[in-house]
Structure formats: structure tokens, C-alpha cells
Amino acid sequence: MKRLAVSFLGAFLALMMVLPLVYSLEEANLGGGLRIEFQSTKFLSSLLTGRLGVVARGEDPVMRLGEAGGEPGEKRVEAGGEGAGLRLFSLQAPGAAGILVPFRSPAPAFSRNIIITRDFSRAPIQTEPHIAVNPKNPNHLLVGVIDYNFAGVSAYVSLDGGETWSGPRQVRYLKDDAGSGGDPVVAFDREGNAYFASISIGIEEYRIGSAVSEEIVSSIVVSKSPDGGFSWSEPVSVARSGITFRDIGVDEKGRLRGSIAFSFLDKPWMTVGPDKNDPSRDAIYVTYTEFSVVWDIFYVEELVFLGNPRIESVIKFVKSSTDFAVMTPPIKVSPVVIRGYGEESRQKRVVQGSQPAVAPDGTLYVAWLDTQDDDSAKGLGEIHVAVSTDGGRSWRGPIRAAIFNEVSFTPRNAAFRNWGSSFPQLAVGPGGEVYIVFAGRPADKPLDDGDIYFVRSFDGGVTWSQPKRLNDDETGRLQFFPSITVDPNGVIHVMWGDMRDDPVETKYHIYYTRSSDKGDTWGFEITELGQRVGSTRVTDSYSNPNFGFPGGRFIGDYFSIKATADDVYLVWADCRLGEFTGVNQKIAFVRRRAMTAPSIFVSPPSGVAGRDITIVGTNFQPDSNIYIEISGSVVAYTKTNEEGSFTARIFTPLTSEGTQTVVAYDQTGNFAVASLYIEFGFNNLAERINVLESDRQILQSLLTEVRGIGESLKSGSGPPQVGQPATGPDAVWLMVAGLAGVAIGLWVGVILARRLQGARRNGQMTRQA
């Protein structure tokens, strides 16, 4: 027995020396089965994008990987909307001397910012937005987001160019799956049908001998909306990952030998455009990364071990008809590359972050990041491009479009995942020009963790220009998450996140630039300022990601921009509310055209203090708290409806006579101002009392005089003559009363006329002011 124990220990130590990483499937004895879960998913955590990458690293505040249960399938991916660990959304108390809302500093060339998304749980977080424009109606916009209110993703729709939004409209994951992994991408076809691509995540069980366990698997799914985004079909899976055995055999003891591969599909992207085989029709084009974590199966005596891990990655492509009736099987676009582990492994290469684009003639382009063998988020990276001229059946390339210094997984000045900034953002011009933007670390600024670069090709992706830096600041501060689009006139539009304005390097704004000459020069005239700029700020309030997501860990992997012939639309993860309400991240929107400003109407517009007035507001943030100030003090609060309007009946406080300023604010910093004229207030109360006292004294004097006249008349009347009626005191007093009434009436008329004249004079002064 002792010899057997020594033999077992020796074999185990030898195995550990040989294998860079080993884990046992025999960690728990569960009813005859032996289970350990989600090890491969956690192994991929530094390479996955979207929400699942946050889940795999244990950083998601709502969804987490379940622990092993007593029965197979008992614990899976757990999701809920309560947001454990999040500080509750807090309202500010009315009646305070002031209120705290984000300060808005208008951008010189763009509209005021609109907050699109709304909350329905204690997890007020939305992120990773993508926007599309209906080609049949340039005011019909669609935005897809990761939404922590739900286990899935959601969509918002605008029919007026982004002034108002309808949503959220939940987009389903596969009904046998556990939730959505994010990566929302939206598109329209030429008929106005909308499409929504995302990841659906499920659980698959596997067994090796007596060891039983589970792993996360994923599908790339696409949903369709025939009404432009208001309702969505059941999702269609265009590709599914799984668990497979490789090179399997059975040894002399009947034990399974070989390797096991856990695949996971990540980072989908979708475009909809002309079918090369039939340019009169549109097709759906989807690309994604297929990761496979491959483990060798080992035994120490009868214990099962998985070891010697390596990660394979490859970019794949699927084409589908718009009704999903005809769909190609997944096709490899890139080579399969390997990321090994351990000091002896020289292969540390990953491909990730693909994007497809289709030219007007149906030519397809796919771009992706190739990390090379110096590992991901380190050293040099390359942007590779593949081209298909036959509808995706075959591919030319890959061709290297750029070589650059990759950005790190997280920047040194922030906690959010930034590696996605190095993924290429691809667009094709109306003449077939191909453009790419990405973020890289500048070689001449060692403290700078990211600048925005642009490359182009005019010969179908065969040759590419040298990278050109687009952000024109002279600081070493971070730029990240670029997005690019080309409008029908061939103008290139680019946006990105930018920390140039914050010396502490925690807050970002969104910046924008454009080129009207195919990328030769960048910038534009701001007619409002009468000057030309290279790039310009478009946000009217900053975002601090530390207040947007717990620990500042996740603001998505991308922002998004689209352009029409007459306007530009931008969406991004916005954290402005987090500093005032607790953790809070929203999706914000801006455009070039001005937005209708918020306004309030006060009725009646004048009156005495201490009476009721009605305030009606329009064009505020929908479903938002409203704070009402009169002359600098908060006097009431209410809430807007789904259209951003409100009606409030409030009691005006005792205040001074004259014009009072009425201001209504919403939580996002929108505000409107009106005037209220107080005709009678506490500052002239003493003056009015003195006037009344003077009037009382005059009337008293008048009455005294009238009494004196009456007494005189009474004393001067002799006894009545015989034969005449006795008019005596009754007649005298009747005459005296008549005279007194006339006098008092005249005097009251004088007083009223004087007051009316004063009121008219005050009204004229108010109108002149």
C-alpha cells in the first residue's frame, strides 16, 4: 500500500512537471458523477468580448457562472435584474437649496445630447451600442444595446431623427439557452426590414469516464423585424459552438485517450447589402471568432486530468438570405492560429475582432486583428483583410493592412476593458474605397496608451496606406473605441472616446472628425464659430466610467456612428448620471442638426404670492425626475411621462414683488426657464400697510366731519310749526347719510384709481424689461 502511494505521488509530480496547467475532473463526488464546471470559459476570459467576458472574469453585477450542483444541470448561468452589489438609484430630496444634476456645456457643432435608454430594475446599466439608419427613411433610426435590465439585449427606435425614442424592445435569445452574451449589431436592408445580431449562450454537458461536467457554449443569432425594430422574430442561429473529442482512442484499461475541445463563438459582426450573385437582392453577412480550448486527457491511476491547454482561434463567415431560407455553412476566412501556455510555448497568437463590409457591387471585405506570436494586448499587432468577389464562397488573403503597437487589455489610467479599441472598424465608400480605423499606442509617446489611426485602400484591398493619426491633441492622454462610416456623398465620418480634456485622465468626452477628400485631409468648418477645427467635442457632459459600472470595469467594446447625406448620428456609453445617482450607465445620442429645446409655460404668468400656479414642460428627458426652482430654491418635484412632458400644479412661496425666475431641471441636466411676475409680495407688505393706514385715517377724518355737520344741522333746527309735518331728526340724518355716502364713494374711487394706475405702470415696466 505504501509502495502504491509513493508510485501515485511520483506519477502525479511527474505529470505536473510536464504539463504547464492541469486540472482534475475529480474535484467533487456528486452522486456517482464527478463534476467541475466552466474552466474553459474562465480560461478564455481575457479574450472574450461583450458581456460574457465580464461574466467569465466574475465582474458582472447581475449574471454569474453557477457553481456545481448536486445533480447534472442543477446550476447554470444565473441571471437576474436586481443588481446585487449595486448602490440603489437614489432620488435627490426636494426642498433643498439647490439640486445636483450633470452640467451641460453645449458642443459647438452638434445638438444637445439625448439619453436614449431607460431603467426597469435595480441595475441601471446599458452599454455597447450600435446604430443603423433605414435607407428608405433617414429619420428612422435603430439602436441595439446590452441591457442589464434584462437577461437579453434590447432595441430602441426613433422615427424623428433621434429627438424621441421608443423602447426598449426586448430581443430574444434562443429559448433553450440561458441568456445573451451581448455584442449587439443592427442593420437595415434596402426594403426597410431590420436585423439584430448577438450572442446566445447555453450550457452543454459532457462526460469523460465517470467525470461529468458542463461548459458554456454559444450561438451567433440573428433576429428580424419587419416593422423597423418595434417587434422582433424568434432568433435564428447561424452558427453554434460545441464540445468535441479529437484523436480519440481507448487504452488497454478501456480508458478514453486523446483530447477534448471546448469551442466558443465570440465577437459577431453583421452587415446587410447587395448579393454579388444577384445585386438586386440583399443578403445578410455575419463574421465571428471561433475559439477552441483544447485539453489533452490524462490519467494518474484512475483519476482523470485535463492538461496541456492551448487556444485555437479562427475568423469564420456565414452568408444568409434575408428570409433565412438559404444559409451557407461557416467558412474559414483567416488561418487557424494557436495560443499556447507555459514557458516552452512559442505560439501566443490570437485572431479576434472581425468586421465585414460590402461594397455597392457586392464585393465583400473582412478585417480583423492578428496579435502575432508576441501575445494578445502586447507588443505588435496587425490588421488583416480578406476579400471575396464571389459572394463569400472563396477568399483572397489575408492581406496586411497595418502593423502597430497593440493597446493593453486595460489602460494604465482606467479599469475598463480597452483591447477592443485595437479591433478594426471597417467601412466602404460609394466608389469601392475601403477605410479602416483602429487604436494603437504611439511609438513617440511612451505614456500614451492609445491614439486613433486611419488606413485606406483604393485598389480593392491589395495595397494600403501608412497609418495616419486622427486625434489632433498634443497630450499623451487616452483615445479609444473609434467608429467609422461613409455617407452617400463619400464623406468619411469618425468618432472616438477621448480623455484629452481631463488632466486626471479619468473622464472622457466623445470627439468627431471627418474628411471630404477620401482621407487626404481631416477636419471641418464650424460655421457657428467661424473657424476650422481638426476634431471637435460632441458631448455636452463628461463621462467617468468609475461611476458607470461597478469598479469602472465595462463600458462595452465599441461605440457607433452612421451618416446620411444630410446628418450624422452617434451613440456611446454615457456615465454622466453615475456621479449623482450611484452606479449608472446609459446610451447617449447626438446629431448635427439642432434638437428642439426643453421649454416650460407658467399659468397664470402673474399674480400675488402664495397662490397656485400650473407649470407645463415639454421636450425633457422621458421618465425622468423634474426639479422646479423659483428664484434659486427648489419648491417642488415631479416626473415626466414617456414623451418627456409634465404638468405640475404648485403653491408659490411668499416672495418679493417683481419678476421671479422659474427653472425646471431633469436628472440629465436639461433645463428650461420662464418668468413669473409677483404683483404683491413681502417686500412691499409694509408699504401697503402704511397706505391702508393712511386711507383709514382719511376715511376716519371724513366720517368725523360728516358727524360734525350732522350735529350742527340737528342743533340748528327749531321746533316744528303748527300744521306742518315733523321732519326733525329723521330728515336731517337722512340728508347727512346721503352726503356721507357720496363722500366716501368718491374717496374710495380715488384710492382705487390710484392703485390701478400704479399697477399699469408696473406692468409697463415689466414689458419693457
Give Cα 31 distance to the centre of its chain: 46
Instruction: Determine what percent of the chain falls in helix, strand and coil, rounding each to the nearest 5.
Output: 15, 40, 40
- The tens digit of pLDDT for each residue in 451-493 reads 999 999 999 999 999 999 999 999 999 999 999 999 999 999 9
What 3-state class would DSSP assign to 743? helix
Name the β-bridge partners of 337. 313
CATH 3.40.50.700: does it fit domain 114-591?
Answer: no
What kind and span of H or E run contains 354?
A: strand 351-358
Q: What is the pLDDT of residue 505?
A: 94
- The tens digit of pLDDT for each residue in 400-440 reads 999 999 999 999 999 999 999 999 999 999 999 999 999 99
The closest alpha carbon to 713, from 743, 697, 735, 687, belongs to: 735
Q: Show the beta-strand stretches assigned E in 575-624.
A: 586-591, 599-603, 606-607, 612-618
Say what the pTM is.
0.83
Q: What are the φ/ψ torsions at residue 560 (nearest 5 degrees)? A: -150, 145
Q: For residues 689 and 708, give the distance between their C-alpha atoms in angstroms, rounded to a whole number.
A: 28
* Residue 530, number of CB atoms within 10 A of its CB: 7
Q: What is the pLDDT of residue 105?
A: 84
Could you write out the three-class secondary structure of 504-540? Answer: CCCCEEEEEEEECCCCCCCCEEECCCCEEECCEECCC
**Per-domain residue ranges for the chain?**
114-591, 599-678, 687-716+727-768
The closest alpha carbon to 166, from 127, 129, 112, 116, belongs to: 116
Q: Over pLDDT 90: what percentage of the chain?
A: 56
Cβ-based neighbours of 147, under 8 Å, separated by 6 or more: 117, 126, 153, 154, 168, 170
Q: What is the pLDDT of residue 6?
A: 43
- The tens digit of pLDDT for each residue in 204-235 reads 998 887 788 889 999 999 999 999 999 999 99
The closest alpha carbon to 125, from 554, 496, 481, 509, belongs to: 554
Query: How does residue 495 score in pLDDT terms, banded at 50, 70 and 90?
Result: very high
What 3-state class would DSSP assign to 597? coil
What kind and span of H or E run contains 663?
A: strand 658-666
Could you tell me which residue, 293 or 605, shows the higher pLDDT? 293
Rounded average pLDDT over 619-629: 91
Q: For residues 492 and 108, give the distance between their C-alpha atoms in angstroms, rounded to a whole number.
A: 20
Q: For residues 237 and 218, give the distance between their C-alpha atoms in angstroms, rounded to a whole number.
A: 10
CB–CB of 208/184 below 8 Å? no
What 3-state class would DSSP assign to 659? strand
The closest alpha carbon to 129, from 589, 553, 485, belongs to: 589
Instruction: Please state which of the ranges 15-24, 159-168, 330-339, 354-363 shows the lowest mean pLDDT.
Output: 15-24
Q: What is the pLDDT of residue 95?
A: 39
CB–CB of 229/142 below 8 Å? yes
The closest alpha carbon to 602, from 563, 647, 568, belongs to: 647
Instruction: Please state which of the ranges 164-168, 251-255, 332-336 shows the lowest mean pLDDT.
Output: 251-255
Looking at residue 686, its amino acid is A
pLDDT at 143 over 50: yes
Q: What is the pLDDT of residue 16?
A: 40
Q: What is the pLDDT of residue 362?
A: 96
Give Cα 572 distance to the centre of its chain: 5
pLDDT at 165 over 50: yes
Looking at residue 692, its amino acid is L
CATH numeric code, 599-678:
2.60.40.230
- The pLDDT mean for the chain works out to 84
Q: For residues 574 and 510, give the distance between their C-alpha atoms in angstroms, rounded to a whole number.
A: 10
What 3-state class would DSSP assign to 483? strand
Q: For residues 164 and 186, give the distance between their C-alpha atoms in angstroms, rounded to a whole number.
A: 19
- The tens digit of pLDDT for each residue in 528-577 reads 777 888 999 999 999 999 999 999 999 999 999 999 999 999 999 999 99
What 3-state class would DSSP assign to 736? helix
The closest alpha carbon to 377, from 342, 406, 344, 347, belongs to: 406
* Residue 641, number of CB atoms within 10 A of its CB: 12
Q: Cell 497630450 belongs to which residue?
A: 475
CB–CB of 437/484 below 8 Å? yes
